[in-house]
Structure 1
Amino acid sequence: MVPLDPVPLPIDHVLRGEPDTVALVDRAGHVPYAAAEQAVARLAGWLAQQRLAPGARVATWLPKTREACWMPLAAARAGLVHVPVNPLLKRAQVAHILADSGAALLLTHPPRATTLEEGDRPGGCALHVEVGEGDPLPRSEADADSLAALLYTSGSTGRPKGVMLSHANLWLGAISVAHYLGLVPDDRALGVLPLSFDYGQNQLLSTWVAGASVAPLDYLTPRDVVKAVDRFEITTLAGVPPLWVQLLETDWPAATAARLRRLTNSGGALTPALVRGLRARFPDARLFPMYGLTEAFRSTYLDPALVDDYPESIGRAIPFADVLVVRPDGRRAAKDEPGELVHAGPLVAQGYWQDAERTAARFRPAPPFARAPGVAVWSGDTVVEGADGLLRFVARADEMIKTAGNRVSPQEVEEAVTAGGETSEAVAIGVPDARLGQAILVVARGDGSTEAGLRERLKRALPGFMQPARYLWRATLPRNANGKLDRAALREEVA
């Protein structure tokens, strides 16, 4: 088991396996740790050849290629800040991230590069569709508190914002997860989550810090996942609830299902029915439900031994996290009293990139009773801590839509819906959906005659997970006393 050493290192030191042990495996073969270290060193050398300013942002908009896997380490080694972009995003969303981050370099591949239009890249942002090899750079000696990555996450309003993560944030997150999952060198993780997600990236880092192996996978169907578990001899599988639903509807050979030692869930709560289904399908696997937010990476996990008796719980704080339940008056909530989940400690990010207003709203001083002083993340989520010390999720305060494991900003959907002239007003709402967790419902002003054209346009403008599932058309939309669209009234109406 990985020891809980609280002293962080630069994140490119995370490759800690034995030289001949496999660090990464894909269709092209096995990459031992010694070769992985050289690949990172030479990619960092190539980045150094680009003569970018220290701390410049380098974006990757890639499928799970080897370069995409090495880049979080190589960028840090070269003294740069990595900005992974979800490969499912379309050019408008990518253009926002490039402009907001001030990216100096975008690494993508030809099919995606051809979709970019003039003005999508900020001035001075170089475009590369392949990388070369530079002189290998030695491991970084960067300050662990220096910025290493920007992960873009949507808020309930506005466009995605960049969460600033230091080397220490990434390192301690990797140590924490590797420790409580009990990862060991003979483990092999299947990387199905996007590398732009905090947990998708952490799968690389926590696996490597344990000296184990990772198999990155871009899959088209759930059957691809089943085949990969067998082909790559996978022991650890991470997913989100909609993926578990699909995997339970897929045939699993008994020998393949038996390969899995642990299942880890994030991106939404597991229903009791899903827990029962996973238990039946994978009886030998330990199930780890988890709760987190990108601003602090991960807050809690539920011990697999407690899942059957407490399926509704989000568990207890992970190592290095100080998780508190706080009343509106700032005092500690009593047992069984609802309060806001506040996360303090070294996993807390450094704020939002160039957004002092939203940083001040979310990143505030920790309560006086916190074990870890300093800045904490005030999540806005309401939870309850029971007498047993287990936390239970009650409600999310914001209007975020969580669909298929993705966090979607209603405002971003609304801007896309109203951009083409089919309707001038629209409100996007998340409604319960058995497969997706939430589906996107749009209430729009009009008679519905333009819906077919609107759907066709949005297929080109938005990624699949942001496509509205259903439209409700209204002659007028309700407004509140301030003249704004009354979202609360619409949510009540469609509930």
Structure 2
Amino acid sequence: MSINCIRTLIEDSARTHADKTALVFNEKSLSYAELFAKVNQVALYLSELDLPKGSRIGIYSNKGIEQVIAILAILSTDYVLVPLTKLLKPEQVEYIINDCDIKCIITDKLKLENIEEIDFKGKIISYETTSSDIPSFDEIYKYYNKPYVCDINGHDNAVITYSFGLTGTPKGIVISHRNLIDSARVVTQYLDINEDDVISGLLIFNLDYGLNQIFCSLYRRATLALHRFILPDDFFNHIIDDKVTVLPLMPINITKIFDEDMGRAPSSELLENVKTITSSGGNVTKKMIQDCKRTFVNAKFYSMHGLTEAFRSTYLDPSQIEIRPDSIGKAIPDVELYVINEEGKECAPREVGELIHRGGYIYKGFWNAPKENAERFKSVNILKDVVNLEGQLTDELVVASGDYVYKDEEGYFYFVSRHDDMIKTRGFRVSPLEIESVVVKNFPLIEQCVVFSIKNEEIEEEIVLVYSAKSEIAPKELLFELKKHLASYMLPGKIIYKKSLPLVQSDKNKVNVEELKKELTNS
């Protein structure tokens, strides 16, 4: 058995911490021994499906203890896990099934209808007993009691994750067993997670940030307390009742948590157990940081930046979060980061260039996507003018992230834009994020804003600002303030007010820019 696989963590935790609580969800809990037994039962059943090695198995269900068991069971076989977030529509699920040839789907009663709608031809397993022709976890727990052993190779494919944006045709990124172990190791190190911690399982398990909460818990023999966010009151009850100490969030979660009157939040004394808050998957605002610090008075706030092609690149030390809240921090352990210009030279401080990720946590590549792999996974030779490649050892792969960033004089990185998001107007390249940041900083009444462009033959692209707030702000007032902070070519040509902004159905952290563009061009 490889030491670089999640299966080793499951076996070791059951041996050393058998009676320790591993999982909690509402009134139900499992010890590490109980978790191990159920994972083995499901893994044994999966292995007896006799699918070819490396076959993809999807999980399409709501969050719960059975979902975690299913994830760990697949990772205890030589199959590959494909998480399918419950937010996906049937046609999106069908796209992923066809793209990576999923042979089996594990689901629950609520999602069975969606699977039936797409006429899936593979095997289906349900958590609950539903019909005589669909096997269930209930039956597996009853009848599959033989010993189960496996031998996992750390370099084998473990997970393929898909993130639906606006195009509807994403590419899956392939993650190895070794990648999963490495990511758990580094996060538990810099967050100082230990076996006394209770990690909140608020995030969905469709991408690496969410899945990492499971693996960090196993790595340190901590407790994972699952939660489905519905209302802020429920969330705070989860923190208090489950005695949560580590709270991983996305910016959209922070917005929802503090969306209501802050007077309704529990007193800070009831939330003193929370020692660590992490945020990734978007930009945190000063208000988000202030809300968290006011509510979770003992918590250190870690802002983090990851890549699709690598688990994580940077984190901002909590001591810097109020000093430089806009920074994405410095490289995490075992990673080297460089900012290079179009000539391959290293950028000077505050000069914008592409972020190059070298070192640990690089994933295996995009599934069946040679073009995307060629764009992102490069020979280290692209850094030949930046680092010493003595001996011409150029087989090493680095990630050309497509993120435009700059580094300040003290070595802190700042995200500017994705390559594909840059606006070309009046002969200049403009970052939408830079304009959005100015709006957020100077107009606290604005709840959400997004900047994009539409075609304009006279100036290449016209900048559009769309925002939501409780009431409309006069466009002249907005422009007057923006002129104080932005060059004239960066000022929006159109400013549009909406009571709320449309969100991407499968990712509530993203504004649906394509829908806004259609509304604008069709009006």
TM range (shorter): 0.7 to 0.9
Residues 470-491 of structure 1: per-residue CA shift (max 9 Å, x gap) = 75777967xxxxxxxxxxxxxx
Q: CA deviation at 1:119?
A: 4.4
TM-score normalised over the length of structure 1: 0.78
Root-mean-square deviation (CA, aligned residues, Å) is 3.1
| Alignment partner of 2:250 out of 240, 244, 247 | 240
Gapped runs of 5+ residues in structure 1? 1-6, 403-409, 411-428, 436-457, 478-493
Partner of 2:124: 127
- Give the aligned length: 424
Kindly provide the amino acid, as one letter, of the partner of residue 48 in structure 1: S
Equivalent residue runs for 1:32-431 within 5 Å = 32-117=31-116, 119-121=118-120, 123=121, 125-129=122-126, 130-131=136-137, 132-133=140-141, 134-135=144-145, 138=148, 140-154=150-164, 157=167, 159-248=169-258, 249=260, 250=262, 251-366=265-380, 367-368=383-384, 369=386, 374-399=396-421
Q: CA deviation at 1:431?
A: 5.0
Higher RCO structure (Cα 8 Å, ≥6 apart) = 1
Residues 13-47 of structure 1: per-residue CA shift (max 9 Å, x gap) = 23354222111111243311122222222221111
- 1:313, 1:46 → 2: CA distance? 48
Tell me the secondary structure at the aligned position of residue 238 of structure 1: strand
Contact 2:165 2:507 in 1 (8 A): no
Q: CA deviation at 1:258?
A: 1.3
Gapped runs of 5+ residues in structure 2? 127-135, 389-393, 423-431, 434-451, 453-463, 471-501
Q: CA deviation at 1:127?
A: 1.6
Kindly provide the amino acid, as one letter, of the partner of residue 176 in structure 1: V
Kindly provide the amino acid, as one letter, of the partner of residue 212 in structure 2: N
Residues 151-170 of structure 1: per-residue CA shift (max 9 Å, x gap) = 11246645121100001111
Q: CA deviation at 1:135?
A: 4.6
Residues 185-226 of structure 1: per-residue CA shift (max 9 Å, x gap) = 110011111100211100110122011110111121122110
- 1:148, 1:200 → 2: CA distance? 15
Partner of 1:483: none
Tell me the secondary structure at the aligned position of residue 297 of structure 2: coil
Tell me the secondary structure at the aligned position of residue 403 of structure 2: strand
TM-score normalised over the length of structure 2: 0.74
Task: Tell me whether 95-104 or 316-325 shows the greater mean CA deviation.
Answer: 316-325
Residues 46-103 of structure 1: per-residue CA shift (max 9 Å, x gap) = 1112111111000000111222112332212211000011111111111111111100
- 2:43, 2:117 → 1: CA distance? 29
- 1:347, 1:272 → 2: CA distance? 29
Partner of 2:425: none
Residues 158 and 327 from structure 1, CA distance in 2 versus in 1: closer, same or farther, beyond 3 angstroms? Answer: farther
Tell me the secondary structure at the aligned position of residue 99 of structure 2: helix
Q: CA deviation at 1:120?
A: 4.4
- 1:214, 1:41 → 2: CA distance? 19
Partner of 1:14: 9
Residues 224 and 128 from structure 1, CA distance in 2 versus in 1: closer, same or farther, beyond 3 angstroms? Answer: same
Task: Tell me whether 135-144 or 25-34 shows the greater mean CA deviation.
Answer: 135-144
Tell me the secondary structure at the aligned position of residue 214 of structure 1: strand
Q: CA deviation at 1:246?
A: 2.5
Residues 235 and 384 from structure 1, CA distance in 2 versus in 1: closer, same or farther, beyond 3 angstroms? Answer: same
Partner of 1:440: none
Tell me the secondary structure at the aligned position of residue 357 of structure 2: strand
- 1:229, 1:263 → 2: CA distance? 12
- 2:201, 2:291 → 1: CA distance? 22
Task: Tell me whether 323-332 or 164-173 shows the greater mean CA deviation.
Answer: 323-332
Kindly provide the amino acid, as one letter, of the partner of residue 265 in structure 1: S
Contact 1:207 1:214 in 2 (8 A): yes
Partner of 2:480: none
Tell me the secondary structure at the aligned position of residue 313 of structure 1: coil
Kindly provide the amino acid, as one letter, of the partner of residue 105 in structure 1: C
Residues 370 and 92 from structure 1, CA distance in 2 versus in 1: closer, same or farther, beyond 3 angstroms? Answer: farther
Q: CA deviation at 1:137?
A: 5.8
Tell me the secondary structure at the aligned position of residue 377 of structure 1: strand
Kindly provide the amino acid, as one letter, of the partner of residue 327 in structure 2: S
Contact 1:92 1:120 in 2 (8 A): no
Partner of 1:487: none
- 1:300, 1:467 → 2: CA distance? 24
Tell me the secondary structure at the aligned position of residue 364 of structure 1: strand
Q: CA deviation at 1:375?
A: 1.6
Contact 1:169 1:349 in 2 (8 A): yes
Residues 314-369 of structure 1: per-residue CA shift (max 9 Å, x gap) = 11111232222222122322333221111122311111111111111122223234
Kindly provide the amino acid, as one letter, of the partner of residue 239 in structure 1: L
Task: Tell me whether 337-346 or 348-357 shows the greater mean CA deviation.
Answer: 337-346
Contact 2:164 2:507 in 1 (8 A): no
Q: Which has the larger radius of gyration?
A: 2
Partner of 2:476: none
Tell me the secondary structure at the aligned position of residue 376 of structure 1: strand
Question: Structure 1 vs Structure 2: percent identity of aligned residues?
Answer: 28
Kindly provide the amino acid, as one letter, of the partner of residue 73 in structure 2: A
Kindly provide the amino acid, as one letter, of the partner of residue 91 in structure 1: P
Contact 1:314 1:392 in 2 (8 A): yes
